Each structure stands twice: as structure tokens, then as C-alpha cells.
Amino acid sequence: MSLLLERSESAGKWGAHELRVWSDASGASVSFVVSEDGVECATPGFRARSRLQARAARFASDPDCRFCDPLLVEILDAKGEPFYPLATQLDDLLLTRERVSEGALLELGLCAFARGIEVWTDEAAFLTAQADEEVRFAAESLIPSGLFSPEGEEHPEAAEAFLTGRVLEAGLRENLVTGETFQHAIVRTLGGNYDVLASPRELGSPLEPGNIIQGEFWLVGRVTSGLTEASRPGMQQRLFRA
């Protein structure tokens, strides 16, 4: 991680903090929030190609890191009607938090990092595999699992989703600094396309177009359209006070 920080470039400053970003030709990235005390947050990411339409709701609170507070949105269809609520992290939150207005229409580039994933050859195989299950999933469906708490428990909103989707494009990529190979795919699910990232070790074989995947995913991305103009730093300095 220290090597990536050394090779990172400044993306901007806010108050006593600086956002530094490392990225390479594979699309992989790491965003560092740095202060005079050192690195306060490091968030992996990817240069997403997919785009989703959303309406901003509010920011929730991450119990461990104020730079990881998730953004709550509603994912919208082509007519602007809501599909489902969702929470996602923003890897450039330091610079964009104050520029996300409640109720604003946004375009998002979201990445879904697999925390556990299953793969079926095609939709027919997927449907056959769950034929005897009490609960059956559509081949393109999404549950915003980070917004649900076990009954009787308090659980902070988290940037997590249980996603089932169809692989449209897939390929292996290599992190040019670490030499690690990772799986990238464009996956269509309810509400649109997501850039999915997974370790090849979690997969029996590389993903191919037509595969159906399902699993629990951590979500991170950027607002690619819909941010307001930056205002005076005073408010955000209070949000990110030392």
C-alpha cells in the first residue's frame, strides 16, 4: 500500500486534508485521505464504465471512518421512477460531499466488489439450480442488503447489496504495480449495469458473457454528473473536523 501512496497524485485538498489517488491502465485505483498525521483512509476503486441514474437522499454515518460515510440514493428507471434505495461509498467523498444536494438527480459510476460470489453457465442453469428452493431469485435482481438490519438489532446503513445479474462483458486485468490479476465484468441487473470486480481465486474459471452471477457485494463509486458547484470550505471543514 505504501508503494501505491508513493505513486499517487493529488486530486485536491479540503481544509487540513488532501485526497491523493493512485490508478493504472487496468482501471484499478486507491484513494487516500491524507493529513499531517498520515493516511486516515484508503479506499480501493475502479474506473467504472457503467452508469446508473439516481436521486440523492442523504449521507449515513460510518461508525469507523467519517471519510467512508455512505451516500443513500434511489436508483431510477428511464422515466425517473424509483427501482430501489441503495447505499454506496464515494471514493472522492472528501471533495464531493458538500456538492451532493438532497433530491438532486445524479449519474453514478458504481463498482461492486465481490465478498462472495456464485456463477452459473447461463440463465437456464441458474433457474434449474434453484428449482427446489423456497425463495427463488430472478436472473436480474438486487436486494440493498446494507439497508436491512436483523430483527431487533440496530445496524448502520452500509454500502452493500445482494446482486444477481447477467454478465455482458468480462475480462481479466492486471494491477501493474502489484502484478495481481483480477476479474472485471459489466453485469446487468435490476436498475442497470454495474462494474463487478472479483478475485480469480473466488471463481472456478473466468467469467464469460451470458453467465449468471449472484453474491454479496460492497459498493463504491463516483458521481459522474449532477454535482453542484463547490462552495466555501467552512461547512465541509466542520464535517471533516480533526
What 3 state SS string does the chain have?
A: CHHHHHCCEEEEEECCEEEEEEECCCCEEEEEEEECCEEEEEEEEECCCCCEEEEEEEECCCCCCHHHCCEEEEEECCCCCEEEEEEEEECCHHHHHHHCCCCCEEEEEEEEEEEEEEEECCHHHHHHHCCCCCCCCCCCEEECHHHCCCCCCCCCCCCEEEEEEEEEEEEEEECCCCCCEEEEEEEEECCEEEEEEECHHHCCCCCCCCCEEEEEEEEEEEEEECCCCCCCCHHHHHHCCC
Grid coordinates given for 86: 441503495
Amino acid identity, position 114: A
Grid coordinates given for 78: 428511464
CA torsion 186-184-59-65 (nearest 10°) is 170
228 pLDDT more than 70? yes
Q: How confident is the model at residue 238 (pLDDT cuts 50, 70, 90)?
A: very low
Nearest to 225 by CA among 102, 112, 70, 100: 100
Mean pLDDT of 138-166: 90
- What digits encode the pLDDT tens for the residues 65-88? 999 999 999 999 989 999 999 999
Q: What is the pLDDT of residue 152?
A: 59
Q: What is the pLDDT of residue 154?
A: 72
How far, in Å, are 13, 61, 227 from residue 230 at the CA level?
12, 22, 9
Give the angle 71-184-120 at the CA atoms, nearest 5°. 100
Q: How confident is the model at residue 231 (pLDDT cuts 50, 70, 90)?
A: low
pTM reported for the whole predicted model: 0.91
- What digits encode the pLDDT tens for the residues 98-115? 999 999 999 999 999 999
On whether the CB atoms of residues 217 and 196 are closer than 8 A, the answer is yes
21 pLDDT more than 80? yes
Distance (Å, whole) CA 111 – CA 160: 11
Amino acid identity, position 58: R
232 pLDDT more than 70? no
